[in-house]
Chains A and B, each alone.
Chain A
Amino acid sequence: MSNITNQSLSEILESIKSKKISSLELTQAYIKNIENAKKLNAFVTTTFDQALENAKKFDNEPNNEQLLSGIPLAVKDLFCTENVKTTAGSNILNNFIPSYESTVTKNLWNNGAFLLGKLNCDEFAMGSSNETSFFGNVINPIGDRLVPGGSSGGSSSALAADLTPATIGTDTGGSIRQPASFTGTVGLKPTYGLCSRWGIVAFASSLDQAGPMTKTVNDCSIMLEAMSGFDDKDSTSINKKKESYSKNLKDNIKGLKIGIPKEYRVDNMPKEIDELWEKGKRILKDLGAQLIDISLPHTKYALPTYYIVAPAEASSNLARYDGVRYGHRSQKGKDLIEMYENTRSEGFGDEVKRRILIGTYVLSSGYYDAYYLKAQKVRQLIKKDFDDSFTKVDAILTPSTPSSAFKIGEKTNDPVSMYLNDIFTVPVNLAGLPALSLPAGLDKQGYPLGLQLVGKALDEQKILNIGYAFEKNCGYKNEIKKWWS
């Protein structure tokens, strides 16, 4: 009983359904963990009273036919939650309480889950270490002083520290997969358009995608099934039949062709990442998959392309935070322009300001063609690289990140080295494809490392299957000492 919270979501669901544990007991166990884990700074807001009410309600009238029956869940504070403060990790939304619920979280609640709290993240999801949050950096439970990755750093930290049985994040350039990799957990960025963006605080609209973060691949398939689906309120949502990812999960990957892109072997990459990649290839080969060398020639342009497209969209998306209708408004200033300037100066942190400036610059007249338009063209080439490869292979295997978790403060003064963290994840967002990060091993410091499986558009089932088979044969298990409690 006492260690229910270190079980996987699917195990917990079994216990709920077989009445080994009530939803209330489960919720109380997580609340206890959360209260003991304040040092990790994973939560911005907790909704314990509401969660306990919902748990009781479930226990009184249990509906066990749902995907997430009686499960308390904490979610990234980028998802708008009705009547619950939603900050996006920013001072400018410090006091913002939405009157509406994002489609993705609503889908979770419609599947039997309820809200446990809102998880810290990089400000407006801009960051790779959770150090840009107005609410302070989050700590990686793997070790004191370590970043949990970002931007979904509160999510990865809370999940690895047993503060939520599963969670959701958003991934614009790696914000689910990199923190998953840094914490030894599973993270999936779905195909662009599979999960609705309605009600998610926007960072870069053409790249943002919500996805599950879980302890196991099976959990990941359950969460994806619950959160995804067509939404007519999002014009970029894909209208297709819902899939039963968990029911269709299978570990037979015999004969599948796995692409190994040569461009993902970058300079100065630690030897252990290379070894990890080799290990991954071996496991898949032993399971009967066929390894095929492929080339994604435009990979090296992905990062610069991303750092034009994403800030450009962000500079426009964040224009609405002007102090006029909601959120922080500066009391200083003698006219409208000064009110804007003061509100936004006080409301936004340095990284957000940096990206607004970059984005404004690349869209400016005289620079648009050289930067934004060119980046869009390169983006098409990157997408074409993947399209070409997927005529030959079923999925692509790469490392998730070029390094393991780093120390807090290690990269804060070097934005470019921080941006380099996303080098393996960013191309996938530019191409709109699904990708799964799997825990695969440890580096010599004992920090987790992940491998990434990239699939064709809407081929989530296949990469989940490969991940499922991999997980069974990899033998990785997170051993986290609860040093913080």
Chain B
Amino acid sequence: MSKEKFDYFINGEKGKYEVVIGLEVHAQVLSNSKLFSGSSTKFGADPNKQVSLIDSAFPGMLPVINEECVKQAIRTGLGLNAKINNYSVFDRKNYFYADLPQGYQISQYKNPIVGEGKVLLDMPYGSKEIGIERLHLEQDAGKSIHDMDPSSTYVDLNRSGIALMEIVSKPHLRSPDEVNAYIKKLRTIMRYLGTCDGNMQEGSLRADVNVSVRKVGDKNFGTRCEIKNVNSIKFMQMAIEYEANRQVELLEDGKKIDQETRLFDTKKNETRSMRSKEDAHDYRYFPDPDLLPLKLEQKLIDDLKKSLPELPDNKKERFIQEYGLNSYEANVLVSEKEISDYYEKVAKLSDKKLAATWMMGDLFAMLNDKGLNISNSPISAKNFAELVQSIKSGEISGRIAKEVFEIMVESGDNPKKIIESKGMKQQSDPKELEKIINEILSKNKDKVDQYKAGKEKLFGFFVGQVMKLSGGKANPQLTNEILKKLLKG
């Protein structure tokens, strides 16, 4: 694959700027119950129907850690090639808000459960490693609803206490495209691990985006701004684009950038100041005395490590080795665990390379068209494999295969059955083909003479006529051979 050059810079009159981005991703832990209570975490329940006395912070209520959430954080840490800390501490982050019942969020501050790790991105200009600073567990807050009543705010505590993993990257990202690749990669890894469903519409994955700019070649980072709680990749990219240009303009005008927290207005496509550094909350972090430090036995970590599924980076390597795919194909086919599973089923029953081509072409186009994903594809892996095999064996041509594919989508039928019942099998009997070709040649004697006189372009015309007469079923390779032979004679 030809390598492009990285070229995301902002050109000002006083120089060329590069954009430095770090992300704090909040990923909702896949778990049936909340981080410190037994309440359900199911999405979409009626307001305040999944709230325990603990989640609503009644007097005398105490948190008890949900072990499954701890395991999920460890799995995620292992998936990020990170150091798992045998000793971590839950702290209280104190602030008042109507949807924060305790008056503090239980989080991890100085001692997170997961330390440094890394994520590999495949960019058009080569692979790039993004450092992970840490991953910690924390509680989500509830939701304040301001637009249901003109004079009151309503509070829904269903989310209150749900476990989040905050995954903090190092400031290694340099463009909106890299942010896109990074979020997608994190999402893929967590979906492989089953630790987060990555559903951005439901808020399972959100991010705070830290953006700064500096002149190319500068060693020091510029002053950064944090854009809070952006909930789609598209918005993240738009926010970065806007924010980086805003900062460059300030610098170009000889102004300073204030370190501050900003909000992205999705309607106006701009970021605006939420609070300055001076107004920043003093969260008064301290270890939560209701919870003991979290001490993990190495055996638990080792056991979880052994039980991890094959992760996308490894699977990609294996696909290249085992199925002879190129890096691009392998990348696409491991991007979702379900896609890779489907591909492997198909590849085991048919031609591996052709299967990849057809999956990434017609199958993906169809799914995309219909707004479906691979797990609810109307074509089963087994049927798709048979279709690929029919092409490979020459039973049907590529063109016919597209027709069969359409019918499969509509009916869900087996391709063999469709080919059989509709008589779509390729004409590969040389005698039958010779008969058709002779018929064509005798009908077009003038063209045969022209061809023989040197107008070789007419060869295509003859092929077209054969296809027309055979209803598209003539084996193209055989047709070519026979045509050449007969035209010579």
Contacts and interface: CB of A to CB of B under 8 A. Distances in A.
Contact of B59 (A98, A205, A313): A98
Interface in A162-199: 197-199
A357 B65 CA distance: 30
B96 A322 contact: yes
A324 B64 contact: no
B65 A235 contact: yes
Contacts of A198: 60-62
A204 interface: yes
A239 to B, nearest CB: 12
B96 A319 contact: yes
Contacts of A234: 62, 64
Given A235-B292, A316-B92, A96 B104 contact: no
B291 A98 contact: no
A200 interface: yes
A27 B261 CA distance: 63
Interface string B255-285: 0000000000000000000000000001011
Interface string B36-64: 00000000000000000100111111111
A58 B97 CA distance: 48
A30 B94 CA distance: 45
Interface residues of B, number: 30
A365 interface: yes
Contacts of A368: 284-286
B64 to A, nearest CB: 5
B102 interface: yes
A233 B62 contact: yes
Contacts of B92: 316
A336 B153 contact: yes
B245 to A, nearest CB: 33
A202 interface: yes
A236 interface: yes
Interface in B62-110: 62-65, 92, 94, 96-98, 101-104
Contacts of B289: 204-206, 236, 313
B64 A232 contact: yes
A221 interface: no
Interface residues of A, number: 43
B59 A93 contact: yes
Contacts of A96: 59
Contacts of B97: 336
A31 interface: no
Interface in A199-235: 199-202, 204-206, 232-235
B155 interface: yes
Contacts of B104: 316, 319
B150 to A, nearest CB: 14
B10 to A, nearest CB: 35
Among A80, A93, A320, A368: residue with most chain B CB under 10 A: A320
Contacts of A232: 64
Given A319-B94, A319-B96, A364-B284, A201 B60 contact: yes
A324 B62 contact: no
Contacts of B61: 198-199
Contact of A365 (B58, B98, B282, B290): B282
Interface string A87-104: 010000100101110100
B59 A324 contact: no
B103 A325 contact: no
Contact of A312 (B56, B101, B286): B286
Given A232-B64, A319-B96, A319-B102, A372 B286 contact: yes
Among B53, B62, B92, B155: residue with most chain A CB under 10 A: B62
Given A316-B103, A324-B101, A324-B155, A363 B62 contact: no
Given A88-B59, A235-B62, A312-B286, A100 B53 contact: yes
A93 B92 CA distance: 23
Interface in A65-92: 80, 86, 88
Nearest to B291: A235
A102 B284 contact: no
A360 B286 CA distance: 11
A174 to B, nearest CB: 19
A340 interface: yes
A205 B286 CA distance: 13
A368 B91 CA distance: 14
A340 B96 contact: yes
Given A205-B289, A236-B290, A319-B103, A80 B59 contact: yes
Nearest to A86: B59
B282 A320 contact: no
Nearest to A365: B282
Contacts of A98: 58-60
Given A198-B61, A205-B290, A326-B58, 16 more contacts: A98-B59, A98-B60, A100-B53, A197-B60, A197-B62, A201-B59, A236-B290, A236-B291, A316-B103, A316-B104, A318-B103, A322-B103, A325-B58, A336-B98, A363-B286, A372-B286
**6 closest pairs, A vs B, by CB?**
A319-B103, A205-B289, A363-B284, A206-B289, A320-B57, A199-B60
